[in-house]
Chain A
Amino acid sequence: MADPYLTIFLCALLTYGVRSGGHLLMTYFGTVHHRIEAGLNAVPIAVLSALVAPTVVTEGWPEAVAIVLVCLLSLRFSMLPSLALAVLALAMMRQIAGV
């Protein structure tokens, strides 16, 4: 594992980069090609779903159900209550599954 402080520092630098980058790009360029823009817009959807996908498939059924459940809960509630209810449901499902 890399030095944790190096990792933290680079993540902080990267975060500052995206928070200032949009402003600088708009100031100097104005517009970008529509395919690049569509690709940039898709970055969070594509990478985050790729990150979560194996969890849904490789853990047990309670975990898979909990992931689907929390998405459905987010239709009705904001992030924090959705997570709280899903965590509660997961704890109960794990009891039932006997793990």
Chain B
Amino acid sequence: MTAQGSRRVLAEFAYEVPPVERGYTNQTLYVNLSDNTITAKPVTEEMKEKFIGGRGFGLWLLWHAVKDDTKWNDPENEIIISSGPCGGITQYPGSGKSLVVTISPLTDIPIDSNVGGHFGPLLKFSGWDALEIQGKAEKDVIVVIDGQNGRVTIEEADGVPVDSHLVGHWLIEEMAEKEEDRYFMSVVAAGSGAEHTRIGCLNFSFYDRRRKAPRFKQAGRGGIGTVFRDKRIKAIVVKSPPVRGDSNRPADPERIARAGLRLHKEIHDYDDQQNRMRKRGTPYLVQIMDDYDLLPVHNFKFGSHPDTPKINGDVWEGRFSQGLPDGCWYGCTMSCSHAVDHYTVRTGPYKGQKVIVDGPEYETIAGVGSNCGIFDPDAILEINFYCDTYGIDTISFGTLTAFVMECYEAGILDKEKTGGLELRFGNADAAIELLHQMARGEGFGKIAGQGVRRMKEYFVKEFGADPQFVQDIGMEAKGLEYSEYVCKESLAQQGGYGLTNKGPQHDEAWLIFMDMVSNLLPTFEDKAEALHYFPMWRTWFGLCGFCKLPWNDIVPPDNAMTDEPAKIPAHVQNYVEIFSGVTGKEVTADDLITMSERVYNFQRVFNIRLGKGLREHDAVPYRSMGPVTVEEYESRAERYDKQLRELLGLDPEKMTTEEKLAALRKYREEQYEKLIDAVYARRGWTKDGVPTLETLKRLGIDYPDVVEVVKRHL
């Protein structure tokens, strides 16, 4: 873990660290790497009122930074990191998140990605509600925010390593003057894989006092790490004054503490009976998704596999080090950030080293595991470690590798085209080598690292692939790879993925159980209401600095008796109390939704401004709606035949499988179009997906430049 590097200051900015007041410092930090400008910008009351913080601040700042034709690698594109007014409280679990916003190299529209680790809160306690980085450096740099001494520097970083686990260690050892400094430092880094692909992620560190090492959480989605390396940033470091229980200076600390106590008690009393987040974390979902035929297997062809018990939560509970306080922010008693210690790397440049592997989380297990037909925990750990340190998103890597494997098995690819990699389902060694190629910018890895959308075009043009087939099986929408749930049997979740702002990521809406299992959304209007409420509700976490997990991965025992148990009303009320308690502004549960609606509609208009964001851009691949191949249909023939009989009045006994596939497809594609109509109407959008002027006025975001974008499409 040793590295040699040197730092040379290129630009310096001195500032007075302001006190935090009611969750805000009231200023943001602007850094331009093209001309080495560093300056402070005020946070206006309008920003706080309309955009709240986090993702809202990111989108607002980005809107004013870019032009209508800005691409991801133009200098004016920015990376903005912000937590939010509640980020940094230590009394309520899951209150340390950061939101990162940029124009994505995968989608060419704004991406927002949420991440744990300590950076966002420590940035605030160092005096800044957001960090806004624009421009491109000529040589590799690091940006240092020293909140202990009121100093921001851009520094040349000769010889400093690029891969996250190395640069994270190196910077903390280099910059910590005493042991306690390590606790209040956080590093943001990408890696060599982010340089050569469009699927780069960012790693956000937090210092693990028990393990005496930095650990990392990932802002995974949308290629933000790719933008980071394109700007020639190796790392951003924050060194904060010590964090105290009142560092966020809330208006009413006791109100927050009361809400926190309620949730701490629930977690203590019920987590072992419910999701076992403290022992397993998100891997508890692997077996459950398999049980409900929702676990992606072989590029989302199937929803379950007999080998799932080899990679389910039981396995990971045994592999994770137990009894450690694995919270990724102070005070989080849910503590689901588990890790495998002393893993011996078996391939690549770090072969033989013993490392900490953070995770794997559910999405990683399902993505690089079952979806690629890999049911070997060690292979999953190897891929997890390298994805993280190379700065590659495990979800995009898993989904695109599964796509490659299906193309290989369908004869579109062969060993000659892949440079010798036999990329069949289950071939972990080939998947790992593909990952190393991405980091080196070599061979087939360089092609695959462009993502599913660009691979589809490439395979058609260069290899003569059937355009319809690769479109049907390539699991991307808007250019972003799908996250790891099979949604064929849930129309609402097809919309939950397709009718998103940033692309198919489940953090907007996860409605499969409500829809497919519980049958609580039988009409289009019911589905549309859910596709209004839940995306708005989940958006709100990202405005304020909250993690979603403590909302619904633990529930109070009397939740079943409430009118709307799916919303977890007691926890919604906790958030009302906390937001009011932090900011001093009295709000209701409905107000939280309105806050999100403003930002969500603003983001939709932002997409339209950049040439996307219309109905045609909400199209999804057919693999997300239904069976594409005969093999898929026949694997669930009883289910599909029943639907043909009951929904379409057809007699499957008299039809070939191809005829049945065609009939089912026609029906399901029509259903999706009807769903779009219902959702757009509920959201206050036109039939083409454009927020109406009335919607913008109601939300108070009818700014002249926003209205101008919309008017072009009315």
A binds B: no
